[in-house]
Amino acid sequence: MAGERCRSTATRARLPGTDRRHRRGTIGYGGAHAVHRIADLSQPACLSSAARCQAEDRSDRTADKQCTGCGVVAALRTLARVTPYRDLPLAACAYTAFYCEENIWQLTGNPALVDDERVVLIITNPTRTCLLWQQCAAVLGQPVVWDYHVVLVVRSVPGQAWQVYDFDTRLAFPSTLDTWLGETFPGCDQWLPDLLPHFRVVPAADFRDRLVSDRSHMKTAGGWRQPPPPWPCIGTGPSNLQRFLDFDDAFIGECLWMEEVLEKFGERSID
């Protein structure tokens, strides 16, 4: 999934269609003030949210019958979407829930995409409370708050729309960048600053060469926060993941606001 953890406390953003009376862990929707809890990413919640994704019966989702591993991973991997852009179903990709940076690192080496123009988007903010909609970890119709998220943006030829590969979205895999941004961060000009997305844009080759993850951010004194991927840790030495997430550190790539991402990679940028 996106990053290693999710905040289940209530967002205080002025979300479209919501009232202004927010309580911890909930958002009140509409005139009836129906209360819905933002997804708590315990394993049962992940399984139930994955089941809800399947229940949508969308034509762009097919079951992954070959998936093995822990229950969370198995449930989420059933959400394979066959892409109209590339013959790259989600089931053909290396994936472990809660390890988005490693999933995208693996995807940058996928033979189906290696000849394309590719950049990695790292999404976070200084408070590590970034609001995203359309994520499978959340209850359908509600947002989730991640500390960070990582996706791959691809195009095969100049002049073609950029496509976003997000393993954890309810949207198509891939979606055009404009669609993905608009559906994932709808009306974000009305959100509180602590919930707004910031983007670090890194060429995929640089991300693949420079990322080092010893998974220490996923460990506690009692063991793993979430089961680790079956593949070896990425790189050698201490993890540098936090440098990718610190936008005050000019470590690699460039740091942009959402409007700047649209200007550079959205449909308006196409010649």
Residue 69 belongs to a domain: no
Q: Which whole number is the average pLDDT over 228-240?
A: 95
Per-residue pLDDT tens digits for 81-103: 334 456 688 888 999 999 999 99
Domain-located, residue 21: yes
pLDDT digits (tens, 9 = 90+) for 41-54: 333 333 233 333 43
Give domain status of residue 57, yes or no: no
- Residue span of the structural domain in which 126 resides: 6-48+92-269
**Residue 197 domain-assigned (yes or no):** yes
Active site residue 198: no
- Residue 237 belongs to a domain with what CATH number? 3.10.620.10
In a domain, 122, yes or no: yes
Condensed to tens digits (0 to 9), the pLDDT of residues 197-233 reads 999 999 999 999 999 999 999 999 999 999 999 999 9
Residue 100 among the catalytic residues = yes
**Average pLDDT of the chain, as a whole number:** 76
Whole-number pLDDT of residue 85: 57
Residue 71 lies in a domain: no
* Active-site annotation holder among 53, 147, 149, 198: 149
**What pLDDT score does 87 carry?**
65
Q: Which of 93, 130, 136, 166 is catalytic?
A: 166
Q: Which of 100, 130, 136, 198 is catalytic?
A: 100
pLDDT at position 30, please? 25
Q: What is the mean pLDDT of residues 143-171?
A: 96
Domain count within the chain:
1
Establish if 23 belongs to a structural domain: yes
- For residue range 17-46, what is the model confidence (pLDDT) as tens digits? 333 322 222 222 222 222 223 333 333 333
What are 90's two structure tokens?
């989600």
pLDDT category of residue 3 using cuts at 50, 70 and 90: very low
Please report which confidence band the pLDDT of residue 8 belongs to, taking 50, 70 and 90 as the band edges: very low
| Residue 116 annotated in active site | no
pLDDT digits (tens, 9 = 90+) for 170-205: 999 999 999 999 999 999 999 999 999 999 999 999
Where residue 143 falls among pLDDT bands split at 50, 70, 90?
A: very high
Per-residue pLDDT averaged across 52-79, rounded? 34
